[in-house]
Amino acid sequence: DAGVTQSPTHLIKTRGQHVTLRCSPISGHKSVSWYQQVLGQGPQFIFQYYEKEERGRGNFPDRFSARQFPNYSSELNVNALLLGDSALYLCASSLFGPWGDTEAFFGQGTRLTVV
Amino acid sequence: GQNIDQPTEMTATEGAIVQINCTYQTSGFNGLFWYQQHAGEAPTFLSYNVLDGLEEKGRFSSFLSRSKGYSYLLLKELQMKDSASYLCAGERTNDYKLSFGAGTTVTVRA
């Protein structure tokens, strides 16, 4: 069985550009969450989607947006990139929605570097 | 606030025992997770405690005291492959999202 898959694995962008990161959850999982992990810190919650609806949003600016598709895959979009957006972006899928994340499975992440 | 605090680094010898402590504000969280993250890789689930007490899983054990806002991860019979970052994460009461600590980097030496 495939785990959580993310693409691309690495990405280099210039300040001011836009980026789209993609995530495919484990088959059968309907909830996808996005986290930002800056080097040396723990992951910070960005968004959660369940059944194609946003169920939670962390403390991130409106430049960050996401959506979930009918097949439960998800995209994270970041506009007007800043140097501080450089981080590992992790996608996690779980079986349940916002009513109990007893175990979230993480993808390998997308390493975004903004220059 | 929902701060989760854990030590930055710990070093131990192969075969030894290491205990990683995690403290958090009691009003903000339900259960506590522990994840292992090797450099450049995704976090992988180790344990989840929602009730007080000790949960044992092979060489790894996790403890929770809800009233004290305290958890620890115990790694026994350390192996070189246990060198990694260990993340403590609280399951938020209001929305069940995960709030992570900064992680504890454990280095196992021969």
From the list A98, A105, A108, the residue facing B96 with the nearest CB is A98
A107 to B45: CB separation less than 8 angstroms, yes or no: no
| Least confidently predicted of A53-67, A98-112, B4-18 | A98-112
| Residue B46 near chain A (CB below 8 Å) | no
pLDDT band for position B102 (50/70/90)? very high
Residue among B7, B16, B33, B46 at smallest CA distance from B99: B33
Cβ-defined contacts of A7-11 (< 8 Å, 24+):
A7/A110, A8/A110, A9/A108, A9/A109, A9/A110, A9/A111, A10/A110, A10/A111, A10/A113, A11/A110, A11/A111, A11/A112, A11/A113
pLDDT 10s digits, A41-94: 999 999 999 889 998 899 999 999 999 999 999 999 999 999 999 999 999 998
- DSSP-derived letter for residue A56 is E
Nearest residue in chain A measured CA to CA from B105: A40
Nearest residue in chain B measured CA to CA from A96: B96
The pLDDT assigned to B63 comes to: 97
User: Dihedral of CA A30/A98/A86/B89: which sign?
Assistant: negative
The pLDDT assigned to B28 comes to: 78
B42 to A41: CB separation less than 8 angstroms, yes or no: no
| Residue A98 near chain B (CB below 8 Å) | yes
Distance of residue B90 Cα from the nearest chain A Cα, in angstroms: 11
Nearest residue in chain A measured CA to CA from B5: A42
Distance of residue A42 Cα from the nearest chain B Cα, in angstroms: 4
